[in-house]
Each structure stands twice: as C-alpha cells, then as structure tokens.
A and B are shown apart, each in its own frame.
Chain A
Amino acid sequence: MSNQKKPSELAIWLGIADTSFTRQKTVKFGDASAVNSGRIYSILIVIALVALWIISSVFGLVKPFYWPTIDGTIDRFIKLLTEGFRNTPLWEHVGISIYRVISGVLYGSLVGIPLGFAMGLSSIARGLFDPIVEFMRPIPPLALIPLIILWFGIDETAKIFLLFLASLFIMTIAARSGVSSVRVSKVHAAYSLGASRLQILRNVILPNALPEIFTGIRTSMGVCWGTVVAAELVAADKGVGSMIMIAKNFLQTDTVVLGITIIGLIGYAIEMAMRWAERRLIPWKGKG
C-alpha cells in the first residue's frame, strides 16, 4: 500500500485525489470528513455558466430586458466605476449602505450589550425587559418599516433607527446568553481570589461573554446588511438597494444584476472579515 504514488497537492486541492489519510479509510459513505472538496466540479460549473452566458450573449438567445449580455454588463460596470450611477459614484452608493449598517450595529451594541448584561445579572432588569425582548425577537425588522416611516419619515434617521432596532435585540440576547453561560466555578474562583463584584464583572463575566457578544455582532451585521438593502428598496435615493430599484425603473437590467452581485459580494466579505476578526480577537472561543 505504502508504495502507492503520493497524489500531488494540486490533485488534492482540486478534489481529484483523496489525501493519503482518507485513502486508507475503508468506510467513506457516512463519514463526512471523507468527502473531499470536489473543487474540480466547482471550477467546471463556473466555467460552464460563464460559457453559457457568453453563448447566449453572442447569439442573442435572451432578451437583454430579462438578462443582460456579458459585454453590455462589462461596459455598464466600467461606466458605473467611472461615471457612477445618477451622478453619484458607485463607491458612494456602496459606502453609504455600509455606513448605515455599521452605525446601526454600533448603536444596537451600545444599548443592547449593557441591556443584556443587566438582564443576565438582575432579576428586576430581566423581568422588566423580558416581555419586550421576547415580543420583538420574532418580528422581522422589515415589518417595522411602515411604523418607522410614520414616526421619522424617510430620512437618514429612519434608516439608522431601523437598523438599530434590528441589531438591538440580537445584541441584547447575545449579551444575556453570554452572561448566563459563565461557569459558576469561575465566578467562585474569582471571589475566593479576593475580587470585588465590579472586578468580577470586568474581569470574569465580560471576557467570558465576549465570544457570544462577537457572534451577536456577526449576526447583526448580516441581518442589518439584508435589512438595509431592503429598506433602500422601499425609500432612499442613495445606497446599493436604491441603486438597483431606480435602475429597475429605467429597465437597466445590467445595473440591477451588477447591484445584486455587489450586494452578495459585500455580504460575503462582511462575514469573512468578521470571522477573521473573531479568530484574531477571541482565540479562546470554545476552549473554556
């Protein structure tokens, strides 16, 4: 067996060959770790889809009203980059959406984290806020848009307030469960080492809750990104959501498709950035 040729790293990366460890396994069906990346198929499907797009563009198989041609889309992208959309540069549309998300998450955290801590540490706070939090938790943020428009109109405050609410309850629940997850033996150990209540809050309960708080921030970012795009579809003159909505009114399918792609890529980038930050900032996560 050992004289078998070692598969190249490229072959393993592509998923054509198994690693030498997986190859020795006799039971593969049902062992999830024995399923390799199959990357070769990922590459093939992407190539096939792009080829299909090129073919349909060249032969005009689909009306550009339904799906843009590839050359038209590329031209449009260059135009968006150089001239912007409706006198606003593309980066500004993207930037303002991201700015709204970050503001919403920031305010949501500033209020939600202390609130969650209070709920995890005091019966009074828990009793006071539990009905509100549990009532708000299952409501999709988008359902609040009409009420917020009635309250604030459709200006910037309205959008940030909506995102603030979207992240507030996620952050409150994350902080609360972070506090409740502290092992009592850690708190006991700290008391026996002479720590005061305030010191225990700062040096035991807070760091212990950080992993869950961070997961909360990550979830908030994702939810707020989805919410901001949807809110901009309803009412806004800047932002990626509004960009694709206005483009739709002008039947610019290529801008719509580009906008959707950008929305997807940014959502993915946010998730990746948060995971990276989490590994850097909270390396002890799950190691208690």
Chain B
Amino acid sequence: MSGIVLDKISMVYTLNDGGEVHALDDVSLDIADGEIVTVLGPSGCGKTTLLNILAGFLSPTKGEVRVEGKPVTGPGPDRGMVFQQGALFEWLTVSENVSFGPRMAGKPKKEIAETVAHLLDTVGLQGFGEKPVYQLSGGMQQRVALARCLANDPKVILMDEPLGALDALTREKMQGLVLKLWKEFGKTILLITHSVEEALFLGERLIVMAPRPGRIKKEFRLPFADQGLSKDPRDIKAAPDFVRTREEILSMIWEMEEQIMGQSESETSE
C-alpha cells in the first residue's frame, strides 16, 4: 500500500477582486511508505498550499489526496505537522507540549510519561521537560515540535520549512536530527525547504516546483539521505556529486526567478 498519493491536484484561489491565482495545476505525486521527500521551489510556487492540502486544512479545487488508500477530507492524527515556528503552545511546559496528542486521545498517564521521557531523550532535551517552552532557544523549540509530532505516532510527517528560522549552525545540527528520526521511526516524511543544500541532504527524492501555475518541474533521486547518518555531513555536502546537483538545481531556480522577474516587469510596464 502506497503511503501518499496526490492525484491530479489543482488549486485555484479566487481573490476578492474576482482575479484567480493558480497556486497548483495538475500536480500528481506518489510517496512510498517510509520515504523522505523534499520539496523546493521559488517563493509563491504553491509549496505551502500543497502541504496544507495534504494536511487536510484546504480542499483542492480539483483532484484527490489519499493517505494509505483513504481520501483526505480534513486534518487528522495520521498526518503530523511541524511548522516553521510559533506553533508550540506557549502556556504549556516542554513535556506538556510533547504529551498533547496522547493526552487528547486519553491515553493512560503512565504510558504518556514513558513516551515523553523517551522522546525528550531522542531529540536531546532530557532534563528540559519542566521548562516553559518560551524559555528555549529556537533550535530547542523545533526539537519540541518534532517530539510533539512523534508522540502522536503519525504515519506521515509534513514539515513546512521546519528549520527556516534557525541560524546556519543550528540548522545543520537539526538536519542530522531529522535524518536520525526518519531512520529510527521509519516515518513517511514530506519536507518543504528554501535551502537547496538542505533539500539535497535530506531528500531521498527531491521535487523542484515551478510557479505560475504551481507545478512539478523536475524530480531527482538522491543517495545522500541514506549516507547521512554513516558519513560526515560536511563530507557529503562537499562531494562532487552533491555539488554538481546543487549547482544544477540552483541554476534551474535562478532561471525561474528571472522568468518571474521578466513577467512582472512586462506586467508593470504595460
């Protein structure tokens, strides 16, 4: 049974002035169980829209999403979310944030305590359980967000620029954590990022999207995520293969950006 199926998804936003934005046009994508897929593309190409449709927060104007064969009609605990920032519950402690899902499901207290302890350990936050989340650094907050998501044991994890607000060093460390969690928990992961390097490093498969209308431009199969835990990340990122693909994708994105600029220039000069 395949993990996620996006079946000819189109999304058109109708604006108040009657105009239309074709955020996604006929996007199809299969993601296998346990696969980690990264999505990259210029700003406004519909990445967040795609993720929100998968999560069930938006229903597409055309097409269907299926997770484990079941059509998606709304959000659900089978699809965990990790947002860029600001989605933690600041009135709760770290532990209370992590245990949110199991508590809502009415799991036994003892089981919850064990899950939380184990997950805090896994994401490297042992001893921080009783802290209020607003006292943690940005990187630690994202660790809490990951743990909170895992505590609910979803089949699929959807992440929208989860590391986007972090500084470069913290970001590299967190990339390692994402890979580790992927290997350890065997989840299906879809991760959106603006960083070409991150998309290459984390994705078994990398999807490059193009804007206006939002669509899939190119797909890459990559070996780097598999090597990620056994090799030094710095070596992987400096390997000739990695650098070559990075440059290829970068010039592809630059081309798209230039097209967008050209389009909007001709629009404004009219």
On A, residues with C-beta under 8 Å from B are 183, 185-186, 188-196, 199, 203-204, 207-208, 210, 282-284, 287-288
For A204, list chain B residues within 8 Å (CB). Answer: 89
Report whether A185 and B83 are in contact in the complex, using a CB–CB cutoff of 8 Å. yes
For B152, list chain A residues within 8 Å (CB). Answer: 193-194
Q: How far is the CA of A214 from the CA of B160 in the complex (A)?
A: 33
Binds A, one of B28-36, B72-80, B170-178, B212-220: B72-80
Given A185-B87, A204-B89, A287-B90, 6 extra CB contacts under 8 A: A183-B87, A186-B87, A188-B83, A190-B104, A191-B57, A207-B92
Q: How far is the CA of A195 from the CA of B99 in the complex (A)?
A: 12
For B55, list chain A residues within 8 Å (CB). Answer: 188, 192
Contact of A192 among B79, B91, B132 (CB under 8 A): B79
Report whether B134 and A199 are in contact in the complex, using a CB–CB cutoff of 8 Å. no
The 10 A-B pairs at the shortest CB distance, nearest first, are namely A194-B77, A287-B134, A193-B101, A191-B75, A185-B87, A207-B91, A192-B81, A189-B87, A284-B90, A195-B104
For A185, list chain B residues within 8 Å (CB). Answer: 83, 86-87
B205 at the interface (CB under 8 A from A): no
Query: In the complex, how many angstroms separate the beta carbon of A206 from the nearest chain B beta carbon?
Result: 9
SS of B interface (majority): loop
Q: How far is the CA of A58 from the CA of B154 in the complex (A)?
A: 83
- Which of B77, B88, B91, B92 has most A Cβ within 10 Å? B91
Report whether B81 and A189 are in contact in the complex, using a CB–CB cutoff of 8 Å. yes
Residue of A nearest to B104 (CB): A195
Q: Which residues 63-79 of B have a CB within 8 angstroms of A?
A: 74-77, 79
Q: How far is the CA of A193 from the CA of B96 in the complex (A)?
A: 13
Chain B interface, number of residues (Cβ within 8 angstroms):
27
For A183, list chain B residues within 8 Å (CB). Answer: 86-87
Q: A193-B148, A207-B89 are in contact. Are A284 and B57 (CB under 8 A)?
A: no
Residue of A nearest to B85 (CB): A185
Query: In the complex, how many angstroms separate the beta carbon of A159 from the nearest chain B beta carbon?
Result: 36
B100 at the interface (CB under 8 A from A): yes
Residue of B nearest to A192 (CB): B81
- Which of B75, B76, B101, B149 has most A Cβ within 10 Å? B75
Report whether B76 and A192 are in contact in the complex, using a CB–CB cutoff of 8 Å. yes
Query: In the complex, how many angstroms separate the beta carbon of A281 from the nearest chain B beta carbon?
Result: 11
For B92, list chain A residues within 8 Å (CB). Answer: 207
Report whether B75 and A192 are in contact in the complex, using a CB–CB cutoff of 8 Å. yes
Q: How far is the CA of A257 from the CA of B101 in the complex (A)?
A: 59
Query: In the complex, how many angstroms separate the beta carbon of B134 from the nearest chain A beta carbon?
Result: 4
A interface footprint on B143-180 (CB within 8 Å = 1, 0 otherwise):
00000110010100000000000000000000000000
Report whether B104 and A199 are in contact in the complex, using a CB–CB cutoff of 8 Å. yes
Q: How far is the CA of A183 from the CA of B83 in the complex (A)?
A: 12
Q: A189-B81, A284-B90 are in contact. Are A194 and B101 (CB under 8 A)?
A: yes
Residue of B nearest to A208 (CB): B91
Residue of A nearest to B160 (CB): A185
Q: How far is the CA of A203 from the CA of B76 in the complex (A)?
A: 17
Residue of B nearest to A210 (CB): B91
B15 at the interface (CB under 8 A from A): no
Q: A188-B81, A284-B134 are in contact. Are A193 and B87 (CB under 8 A)?
A: no
Contact of B100 among A193, A282, A287, A288 (CB under 8 A): A193
| Interface CB pairs A-B, < 8 A, 10 | A183-B86, A185-B83, A185-B87, A189-B148, A192-B76, A192-B80, A193-B100, A194-B104, A208-B91, A287-B134
